[in-house]
């Protein structure tokens, strides 16, 4: 029997109308949801994947063991732009396409990164707590207008951050292993080596994927290059920063603060970062506004329907396009 089920693992849209999933129903697919209130485990996936043609994937693990057991699965459609939870090589060996929602949530993530930068720069959380606790009065905050933003990773999200810098009259610098010089000129961004960016930026914002060469790319030596008045923002992946080194730098006030939407372990239960007063934290949620929800879901649906009908979803959307030819 032909597999005609789609497993939607995005807990945030469970129980919502999700009209953007209707094209799947119109094509004859039954949509089943992860209603556990948490990411599915490897065992959970193995149990649920028989008869499933495609998944709309969140943060659940797609391992060799999962793919080996999923005889009906043909598409993992990522609800986002990161694939660190997907063993792409294993997917390829088992003939399963890994399709991405590139271009769908970069504006939303950039909004989130800027929110963290602005919140830290005006000391918003401390001021909020002062009022709630019955206090009053103010000091002088560093502010964001006219400061220097250092963007690590100058892809879609980094470029969206750079556009926002113009509205705050900020100097923008960027580091990327393969920078887009045309976009840098368009957005008045100075392309610089990483060490220079870290030493000159008032805010360092990370927007690079997690790869073997980028894991812990910000460690003690890199944090040591930053100014004591500077902030670091991470809305990309927690593994980009050595969290032990970050904690020491923050606790010793070697840097002024950090805004984190992502962590090496999620949720970060027991992390010493949670005890600091110079951090602003979010639960890996700052790219999840309603516009991103719609655009990412529509891209996932388009990817699934294209592959189901034997069409290519479009250049760049499938990480292992060789499986489509097969």
Check whether residue 89 and residue 99 sit in a common domain: yes
Out of 254, 284, 294, 298, which one is annotated catalytic?
284
Q: Domain check: are 212 and 240 in the same one?
A: yes
Q: What is the CATH number of the domain that holds 62?
A: 3.40.50.720
Together in a domain, 155 and 262 = yes
Candidates 30, 47, 186, 266; catalytic one: 266
Structure tokens at 134: 């019955």
39 shares its domain with 142: no
Judge if 152 and 256 occupy the same domain. Answer: yes
> What are 35-59's pLDDT values in tens digits?
787 889 999 999 999 999 999 999 8
Task: Compute CA distances 305 → 2, 19, 37, 43, 198, whole Å.
Answer: 15, 16, 27, 27, 44
Q: Looking at residue 139, what is its pLDDT?
A: 87
pTM above 0.75, yes or no: yes
Give residue-wise pLDDT tens across range 210-252: 989 999 999 999 999 999 999 999 999 999 999 999 999 999 9
Query: What is the residue-averaged pLDDT of the chain?
Result: 94
pLDDT at 10: 85
Q: What is the pLDDT of residue 97?
A: 98
Span 19-41, average pLDDT: 90
Overall average pLDDT of the 291-307 stretch: 94
Return all residues near 260 (Cβ < 8 A) that are at least 6 apart: 116, 233, 234, 238, 273, 279, 280, 281, 282
pLDDT band, very low/low/confident/very high, at 149 (cuts 50, 70, 90): very high
Tokens read off for 258: 């950090």
Catalytic residue (choose from 237, 243, 293, 299): 237
Does residue 237 carry a catalytic annotation? yes
What would the mean pLDDT of 182-200 be, rounded to a whole number?
98
Judged against a pLDDT cut of 90, whether residue 1 lies above it is answered with no
Annotation marks residue 215 as catalytic: no
Q: Does residue 132 sit in the same domain as residue 43?
A: no
Residues 131 and 100 in one domain: no
Q: Is the pLDDT of residue 302 over 70?
A: yes
Domain containing residue 43: 5-104+289-325
């Amino acid at each position: 029997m032909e597999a005609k089920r789609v497993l939607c693992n995005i807990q945030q849209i469970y129980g919502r109308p999700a009209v953007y999933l209707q094209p799947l129903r119109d094509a004859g697919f039954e949509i089943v949801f992860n209603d556990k209130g948490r990411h599915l485990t490897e065992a959970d996936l193995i149990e649920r994947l028989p008869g499933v043609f495609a998944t709309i994937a969140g943060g659940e693990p797609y391992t060799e063991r999962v793919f080996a057991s999923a005889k009906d699965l043909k598409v993992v459609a990522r609800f986002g732009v990161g694939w660190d939870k997907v063993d792409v090589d294993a997917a390829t060996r088992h003939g399963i396409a890994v399709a991405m929602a590139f271009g769908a949530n970069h504006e939303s993530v950039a909004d989130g990164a800027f929110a963290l930068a602005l919140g830290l720069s005006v000391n918003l959380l401390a001021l909020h707590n002062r009022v709630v606790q019955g206090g009053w009065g103010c000091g002088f905050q560093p502010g964001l207008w006219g400061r220097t933003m250092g963007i690590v990773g100058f892809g879609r999200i980094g470029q969206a951050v750079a556009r926002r810098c113009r509205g705050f009259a900020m100097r923008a610098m960027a580091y990327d292993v393969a920078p887009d010089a045309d976009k840098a000129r368009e957005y008045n961004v100075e392309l610089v080596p990483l060490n220079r960016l870290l030493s000159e930026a008032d805010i360092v914002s990370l927007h690079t994927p997690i790869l073997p060469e980028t894991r812990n790319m910000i460690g003690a030596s890199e944090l040591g290059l930053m100014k004591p008045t500077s902030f670091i923002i991470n809305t990309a992946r927690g593994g980009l920063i050595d969290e032990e080194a970050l904690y020491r730098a923050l606790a010793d006030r070697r840097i002024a603060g950090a805004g984190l939407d992502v962590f090496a372990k999620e949720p970060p239960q027991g992390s010493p970062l949670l005890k600091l007063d110079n951090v602003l934290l979010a639960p890996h949620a700052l790219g999840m506004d309603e516009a991103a929800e719609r655009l990412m879901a529509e891209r996932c649906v388009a990817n699934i329907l294209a592959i189901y009908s034997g069409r290519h979803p479009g250049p760049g959307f499938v990480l292992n396009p060789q499986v489509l030819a097969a």
